[in-house]
Structure 1
Amino acid sequence: MEDSKLTVRAVERALDILICFTDDTELGLTEIAGRVGLHKSTVHRLLASLENRGFVIRDDSTDKYRLGLRILELSANMSNADEPSQLWLPEMEALRDRLEETISLYVRDGQERVRIQAVQSNQAIRRVAPVGARMPLYVGASSKILLAFAEEGTRSEIMRSEHWPEHVAHSEFLEQLDEIRGLGFATSVAEREPGAAAVAVPVLNRSQQLIAVLAVSGPSSRMTPEVMREQAPVLMETAARLGRMVKA
């Protein structure tokens, strides 16, 4: 029984190491050890096993690690038939070309939102949106859409959890969510990241259930309040098409 527990713990630690690469392309041993909270000797052994299986690659010139080809092989075998992030990609690319800004797709995972797809702007100065990035639910246009269009019980549970920050008052935040439901979209300027702005809308299926959030983001110098108000109907139009593409 004890050996089984140790084996499971080793698997969990190895997965934690892989998750470290969600936000960074390359990481050193010391950086990884700090993020997962383990001794460097333990992390080194786990990385050696992952490298042996092709899940990570070590660059001899920099002594840093990056994800290996085995990750791509696994992701290539995911079923794309009903996967929205793949099904909607052509529409997202068309929207990017129309609005000339970065387009992202988000879903809720517990107390966070996760970017599951992104199409980067072609402009020199642009909003870079890495897929897999996680953000809190109490700030940002996309987070507010996820809460505004969530079921009331789910919304209440999230806002009353221990993860909800004390400085974000429930009453004021709920008023914002009511306004967002009425408008059908949410905007944000420098709420999570200085110099960045975003517009977000819900993607609802044919049963009017929230599937995901579609957002456009870019530098606040280009995405002024006036521009965002013009972008919102275009975003809503695309979101409606996306929703019709999914089985109810």
Structure 2
Amino acid sequence: MPRKASTLSVADENPAAGGVAAVDRALSLLTVFRKNDGYLSLVELADRTRMYKSTILRLLASLEHYGMVHKSDDGRYGLGEGVVRLYGVYNSAFSQADVIMPVLRALVEKTQESASYHVMSGNSRLCLHRVNSPLPISYRTSEGDVLPLDKGSGARVLQAFTGVKGKLYDQIRRDGVVVLDGDRMPDLAGVSAAVFNAHHEFVGALTLTMPSSRLQPGFKDEVLQAALALSKKFGYTQD
């Protein structure tokens, strides 16, 4: 049964402000591919994009011309060598700081508390990036500081996603985020969430710290959303 004309495509539901509709639709075709998809049939592409097959075929012709998609012998379509080439260009110019720091700054601007990004470093954790709170009373650390791996919300997230067992770590793995007050030192609270890359691998912990008196219930969602935004910048997709 043909799609009703009143049904908006995925691209038309969320068009780029001031953009070109045909470009939105072409790019929406590329973004519907998921991990382990391989090749998709025209029917599958139509189902995922909610576009007419005739429209999809015209868009695919242009995308195939530029190497963004590849047509298999059985008539299905997969991502092409052009995508790989662009990834190589992106990867060679990619700077984690350029991606991480804007997320930390936005989180600090919204919460007025200090934000950090931590990774494992042997038996400790390393603060790779940090934006301190603008408020006069705050706990301040710096990029390059080495911190304990057994205390603090960031440490607990790093431990949870590197296989440490226990009730707390099971909960962190389920929620992807943890809120702790006084875990590392009295009167210091922390909220940390896990960050993942394009391969759904855990890569680090995004942490918000503040005096215990300024800990707010809404910080949990703020940190979780910031961690998800950062994960998406690393190529992570939610299946």
TM-score, reference length from structure 1: 0.55
Alignment partner, residue 121 of structure 1 = 133
After superposition, what is the alpha-carbon deviation per residue over 1:174-224, rounded to whole angstroms, capped at 9, x for unaligned? 11100111222112222222221100000111322111110100111111x
Given the alignment of the two structures, is residue 181 of structure 1 paired with residue 193 of structure 2, yes or no? no
Structure 1 stretches of 4+ moved >3 Å: none
Amino acid of the residue matched to residue 239 of structure 1? A
Determine if contact 1:189/1:195 at 8 Å carries over to the other structure.
Answer: yes
Query: Which of 75, 81, 92 is the equivalent residue of 2:104?
Result: 92
Change (3 A) 1:101 1:147: same
Change (3 A) 1:81 1:87: farther
Change (3 A) 1:80 1:111: farther
Mark the runs of 5 or more structure 1 residues left unpaired by the alignment: 1-78, 156-172
Change (3 A) 1:243 1:217: same
CA–CA distance in structure 1, aligned partners of residues 171 and 181 of structure 2: 17
SS where residue 221 of structure 1 aligns?
Answer: helix
Determine if contact 1:101/1:127 at 8 Å carries over to the other structure.
Answer: no
CA–CA distance in structure 1, aligned partners of residues 235 and 134 of structure 2: 32
Given the alignment of the two structures, is residue 139 of structure 1 paired with residue 151 of structure 2, yes or no? yes
CA RMSD of aligned residues (A): 2.0
CA–CA distance in structure 1, aligned partners of residues 206 and 105 of structure 2: 12
Alignment partner, residue 121 of structure 2 = 109
SS where residue 220 of structure 2 aligns?
Answer: helix
Q: How many residues align?
A: 146
Alignment partner, residue 201 of structure 1 = 193
CA–CA distance in structure 1, aligned partners of residues 110 and 206 of structure 2: 15
TM-score, reference length from structure 2: 0.57
Amino acid of the residue matched to residue 146 of structure 1? L
Shift of 1:247: 4.6
The percentage of counterpart residues that share the same residue type is 25
Determine if contact 1:118/1:131 at 8 Å carries over to the other structure.
Answer: yes
Query: Which of 180, 201, 217 is the equivalent residue of 2:209?
Result: 217
Change (3 A) 1:244 1:111: same
Change (3 A) 1:221 1:204: same
Between Structure 1 and Structure 2, the one with more helix by share is 1
Alignment partner, residue 242 of structure 1 = 230
CA–CA distance in structure 2, aligned partners of residues 210 and 81 of structure 1: 22
After superposition, what is the alpha-carbon deviation per residue over 1:27-77, rounded to whole angstroms, capped at 9, x for unaligned? xxxxxxxxxxxxxxxxxxxxxxxxxxxxxxxxxxxxxxxxxxxxxxxxxxx
Q: Which has the larger radius of gyration?
A: 2
